[in-house]
Amino acid sequence: MIKFIHCSDIHLGANPYGIEERFEDMGKAFLQVVRHAIDEKVDFVVIAGDFFHKKNLNAKTLEQAVDLLEPLKNAGIPVYVTEGNHDMATYTNVYSWLDFLSQKGYVYLLKPDVLDDGSIGLTTWHDDIKKGSIIEKEDFFIVGLGYPGATASTMVERLSKQIPENTKKPIITLLHSGIDKFVTEGMGGLREEELEPVIGKSDYIALGHIHNRYENKEKKYFNPGSIENVKVESLSRRKENNDKGFYIVNIDKLKEIKIEFKIISIRNTFSIEIDLMGYKNNIEDIKNKILSEIQEKNICSDEAIILNIKLIGTLEDKSTMLDINDIKNDIKSNLNVIYLEILNMLTSNQENVFNVNEAQNRDEVDKEVISKLILDEGFGENDVLKLLPIILKTKELASEGQLTIDKQEGIDITSLIEKYIINEA
């Protein structure tokens, strides 16, 4: 019998919206994984990618990572990790910070490597150089397939041929990729049938990359989702998969698998939709409506919360302009909020109301709204394809505190234009 923890998308170093407390939140979430692993005396921990949020770390993030991994190392609990798209080495540097942690003995980094003939393949783990893709222990194999990227289908098919087969030991395969029927547009992923070669050789497929939990016990793949809400935009209105946590997995000698999803405690994050249909454009009435909805939904916490509000409907005078800052200040004076975002989706008439699917997350809504705004400004469909990624990337940089709007520095929009327009032309 082997017992292990499967988690993914830890995103240490993430600092959404430039809020220091959110940096600490990511560490606190993983600390709960660490404590449970030690308390339950698991045999090992697997992390299916994106242990870090960025390829280039600052000293504070590295220190946080070492402090969190040290107790596992001292307890003799190995950590097996594969790379995700956030923490793999940059194109100009083949050595990543996960490589560093592996060399220092904090983790075993399992990932595909460049073979002698120049192709990408799987190699046996070598303790002397602390490098490899497949590690064999007395009771199990672990295989790291890493992040296959845009060539996921071809890469997974090729690498699956090198996974050990006909073994009496359970094979646990780590893969940082989503299954397309569970991912949102633009995230990429494998079709389930494209995963079949891996399914046929694995007893447990530990997935990562997609931040909401999903699983298929028959096909043997499991995705725990991220252990914290990295972005409020990633929240969907589907309540069944918004809990954050990790899997506790037991595999017996007959390769029978029992899993339990362990929910962890994280900062409360709420996303609500408020319909202002028929309301007059009176800021006090609108603020009272919003506060009433917040109270009705019992949104409160001793700890500061993250709150996302979506305003929909059509006001009586058909106007769509609101003083969002005034509304925010009023909410903050009545509620303990660490981050508040209000999305104004009011329309001037019912014919132009966006048909937002209840399962849509904030990223999808943003794309729809921004695309319409670009078209409304007189641009064509081809312009939307060029301008949309620039606007979304600028928004992402701003939300992560990486974009400075300084009179001396300004916004480095030139590089974004070069990347998304000039280079794509």
N-term to C-term CA, the chain: 56
Taking the C-alpha atoms of residue 392 and residue 369, their distance in angstroms, rounded to an integer, is 11
Contacting residues for 328 by C-beta, under 8 A, at least 6 apart: 340, 342
Helix runs in 86-177, H state only: 97-103, 152-160
Q: Contact, 266 vs 29, CB < 8 A?
A: yes
Structure token pair of residue 342: 């209000």
Contacting residues for 280 by C-beta, under 8 A, at least 6 apart: 315, 316, 317
pLDDT at 33 (0 to 100): 98
Instruction: Give the residues of the chain that fall short of pLDDT 70.
Output: 91-92, 183-188, 232-241, 349-362, 375-378, 380, 396-425
Residue among 220, 256, 259 at smallest CA distance from 1: 256
Structure token pair of residue 274: 């408020």
Q: Contact, 232 vs 337, CB < 8 A?
A: no
Residue among 160, 173, 150, 140 at smallest CA distance from 48: 173
pTM of the model: 0.81
Taking the C-alpha atoms of residue 130 and residue 140, their distance in angstroms, rounded to an integer, is 18
Per-position b or e across 86-96, b if 16+ CB within 10 A of its CB: bbbeeeeeeeb
Taking the C-alpha atoms of residue 424 and residue 33, their distance in angstroms, rounded to an integer, is 43
Q: Contact, 343 vs 311, CB < 8 A?
A: yes
Taking the C-alpha atoms of residue 230 and residue 222, their distance in angstroms, rounded to an integer, is 20
pLDDT at 119 (0 to 100): 86
Instruction: Quickly list DSSP for 316-370.
Output: TT------HHHHHHHHHHHS-EEEEEEEE---SSGGG-----TT--HHHHHHHHH
Helix (H) or strand (E) holding 274: strand 269-275
Q: Contact, 2 vs 251, CB < 8 A?
A: yes
Per-position b or e across 362-387, b if 16+ CB within 10 A of its CB: bbbbbbbebbeebeeeeeeeeebebb
* Domains by residue range for the chain, with CATH: 2-263 (3.60.21.10), 268-347 (no CATH), 357-425 (no CATH)
167 residue type, one letter: T
- Backbone φ and ψ for 6, nearest 5 degrees, come out as -115, 115
- Measured at the CA of 184, the angle between CA 178 and CA 185, to 5 degrees, comes to 110
**HSE on the CB side for 425, CA within 13 Å?**
8
Residue among 108, 118, 122 at smallest CA distance from 197: 122
pLDDT at 401 (0 to 100): 52
Q: Which residues does residue 269 pair with via DSSP β-bridges, in sequence order?
A: 306
pLDDT at 204 (0 to 100): 98
Burial of 64 (0-12, 13-18, 19+ CB in 10 A): buried
* Count of all residues that appear for the chain in the document: 425
Taking the C-alpha atoms of residue 222 and residue 336, their distance in angstroms, rounded to an integer, is 36
